[in-house]
Amino acid sequence: MAEPRENLQMEKIVSLCKRRGFVFQSSEIYGGINGFWDYGPLGAELKRNVKELWWQAMTRQRDDVAGLEATILMSPKIWEASGHVATFSDPMIDCKTCKGRFRADQTGEISCPQKPSQCVQQCHGEKTEARAFNLMFQTYVGPTATAEDLAYLRPETAQAIFAQFKNVMETARQKVPFGIAQVGKAFRNEVTPRNFIFRSREFEQMELEFFIKPDEVIEAIHGAVATPEIPGPDSPALEPQPNWGWQAWHQYWVEERVRFYQGIGLDRSTLGFHRQTPQELAHYARACTDILFKFPFSKKDEQGNVIGDELEGVAARSDFDLSQHQRFSGKPMGVFDDELRAAWAKLPKEKSDDLWRRYYENRKNYLLKSGVEAEPASRQATDDANGLAKGQYIPHVIEPSAGVDRLILALLANAYSETTETDDKGKSETRVTMRFHPRVAPIKVGVLPLLKNKPDIVKKALEIRDALRPWMNVFYDEAGSIGRRYARQDEAGTPFCVTIDFDTLGENPERLDTVTLRYRDDGRQERLKISELRDWLLARIR
Ligand code: ATP
C-alpha cells in the first residue's frame, strides 16, 4: 500500500534533518530515547535565531515588557498553587493486544509502535480503562531522596513569571499593563510523544505573561471598556490604548503573534485559528485562541481544507494565577494604582456599587471554584472588592505561549521544497532547497572562492569571510564544483552565496573588488561591490 503523501513529506523532512544536521535522535548510538531530540549544527543556529527574534520582538523592542530567566527546578509549592500537581494529567490507556500505551483522547490519531498496520483498529475495541497520568517529571533535591525532597522539572515556564511577578515589576519599574517574557526548557512526560519534534518530552517554550487591569478597574478609570478592533492584515498594528479591557488585549496579542510569524516567513495562509469552546476552556480562563500551523500531518475538515495543529496558545487567564500564588504563599500579589483610587472617589454611588458587585462576584466565583468554602470565600471577596476604593486589585493576565520546537518544525515544513532536474543524458536528480526566511536561516551567506588552488582568490575570499563574520553566520566552502557548493547551501537554506573569481581580482578592471551574489530561491545572480556587501546583507537578514 502506498504511503499517504503527508507521511512521505514528514519522512523527507526527518531524513533531511538528519542528513544535514538540523535534528538528530537523542542518544542515537544507544538506540535513542523516545520523545527526546538533539539539534545539530544547522538546527542549533535555526533555533537560536528563532529565540533571538522572539526575544527582540517581545522584550527589547517594547517598553512594556521585561525579561526573566528562572530555574527549571523550583519549590514544589509552585506546582501545587498552579494546579499542576492535582490536575496536569492525560488519560492513559493500554492496548491489550499489543501492550502499546496511548492517550485515550487520541487513539484514532496514532498508530501502535509495535504493529503499525493493524493495531489502531484493535485498540479501538480492546482498550483498558483510562487512568490519569501526571505529566510532570519528578526528581529529588538533596541527598536523602525522601518525600520532602521531591521536586518537579517545570512543565511550563510561565509559573516562574507569576512567582517573580512582584520582584520584576519593582526592579523593572513597570506599572500594569506590562508583561514579563521568558524563554526556556519545559518537560512533560507525554504519554505518546509523536510527530518528530512536534510533541516531545523535553522542549522549549517562549512565554509572555502580560498583566492587565481588570475590566472593572478600566471602567472605574475610563468610564467604559473599549470594544476590540481587528486590524486588516495589511494595516499597521494597533497601538495599545489605556481603556482596553481583556478582550481588546487578547485580540491584540493574537494579532501581534500572527504578525511575528509572518515576519519570519509563515504566511497567513499557512496558519489557522481555533477558538477554544467553553467545554475546552480551563474553568478560570475567559478565552483561548490557538494559533495553528498546517503541518504535513495535520488533519483535514470535511471540505478537504487542512485544519492545522497548535503552534501557540493565546489565553486570557483572568487573575487566576496571581490569586493562586497569593493564597498558597500568603504573600500579596495585588498592585496599588493611584489612578484607580482617585477615580473611585469621584464615581457616582450607583456606578461604584455596580463595579464593586461585579468585582466581588468574580472574586467569589474564583475562590469557590478553587475549593474555598462559601463563607470564607464571601469574606475574602468582600475584602478584595473593598480594596478597589483604596486603588488595589490583582492583575489579570493574557498569555501568549509558544513552543520553540513546534515553530522549528513549522519553519522546516514551510521551507522544504524539491525540484527535479533531468540532464542531457536523461538522468534525473531531485534537489532540495530550504526556503527559510533570511531572518531565521541558519547560515546567512556562503562565501565561495571559485577555485581553491588560486591563492589570490582564496585570500580574497577569506578576507570577505572574516569581515562578515562578526555580523552574521558565514559559511566558507571551497570544496567541490561551484554548482555542488551552491546545491549544498540551498539544502542548508542559505539565502545568499557570494563567489570570488578572477574578476574580483581585476581581470576585468570594471569588476575589480566585486563579487557574484547568488540568490537561493531563483538562482539569480548579480554583481555587488565588496564594500557594499555587508550592509546589503544586513538589510536583508534582519
Ligand atoms: P497540546 O494540547 O498540543 O498538548 P498544550 O495546549 O498542552 O498543547 P500549552 O500547555 O498551552 O500546550 O503549551 C504552550 C505551547 O508549548 C504549545 O502551544 C506548544 O507549542 C508547546 N508545547 C506544549 N507541549 C509540547 C510538547 N510536548 N512538545 C513540544 N512543544 C510543546
pLDDT tens-digit series, residues 40-80: 999 999 999 999 999 999 999 999 999 999 999 999 999 99
Which range, of 196-210, 346-360, 374-388, 421-435, averages the lowest pLDDT? Answer: 421-435
312 lines ligand 1 (CB under 6 A): yes
Same domain (yes/no): 355, 467:
no
Whether the CB of 289 sits within 6 Å of ligand 1: no
Residue identifier of the C-alpha nearest atom 2 of ligand 1: 310
Domain count, the chain: 4
176, part of any domain: yes
DSSP notation for 435-474: ---TTT-S-SEEEEES-TT-HHHHHHHHHHHHHHTTTS-E
| Predicted local distance difference test score (pLDDT) of residue 466 | 98
Query: Residue 389: inside a domain, yes or no?
Result: yes
**Pair (255, 403) in one structural domain:** yes
398 and 316 within one domain: yes
Domain contains 423: no
Same domain, 364 and 389: yes
Q: Per-residue pLDDT tens for 443-475? A: 999 999 999 999 999 999 999 999 999 999 999
177 shares a domain with 223: yes
- Examine the domain organization and report whether 67 and 188 are in the same domain: yes
pLDDT confidence bin for 117, thresholds 50/70/90: very low
Tell how far the Cα of 399 is from the centroid of ligand 1, in angstroms.
13
**Whether pLDDT at 99 is above 80:** no
373: in domain: yes
Q: What is the CATH number of the domain that holds 142?
A: 3.30.930.10
pLDDT digits (tens, 9 = 90+) for 146-164: 888 999 999 999 999 999 9
Q: How far apart are CA 317 and CA 505, in angstroms?
A: 63
Strand-by-strand arrangement of the 514-519 sheet: 474-476, 445-449, 496-500, 514-519, 525-529
Domain residue limits at 535: 443-541
Same-domain pairing of 452 and 384: no
Q: Is residue 481 situated within a structural domain?
A: yes
When pLDDT is cut at 50, 70 and 90, the band that residue 119 belongs to is: low
Mean local confidence (pLDDT), 483-496: 98
pLDDT at 1: 44
Same domain, 498 and 457: yes
Residues 256 and 315 placed together within one structural domain of the fold: yes
CB-neighbour burial class of residue 341 (10 A; exposed 0-12, middle 13-18, buried 19+): middle
The rounded Å distance from CA 502 to ligand 1 centre is 53
Q: Is the pLDDT of residue 124 over 90?
A: no
* Same domain? 162 vs 296: yes
Query: Which residue has a Cα nearest atom 22 of ligand 1?
Result: 403
Is 9 a member of any domain? no
Please indicate, yes or no, whether residues 70 and 106 belong to a single structural domain of this protein.
Answer: no
User: What's the 403 CA to ligand 1 centre distance in angstroms?
Assistant: 6
Are 266 and 351 found together in one domain? Answer: no
Judged against a pLDDT cut of 90, whether residue 115 lies above it is answered with no
Q: Which residue has the cell 512533560?
A: 188
- Provide the pLDDT for residue 116: 44
Residue 36 Cα to ligand 1 midpoint, Å, equals 15
**Confidence label for 297 from pLDDT (cuts 50, 70 and 90):** very high
Q: Is residue 434 part of a domain?
A: no
Q: What's residue 125's pLDDT?
A: 57
By DSSP bridging, strand 65-67 and strand 178-187 are: parallel
Greatest CA separation for the chain: 91
The answer to whether position 296 is within a domain reads yes
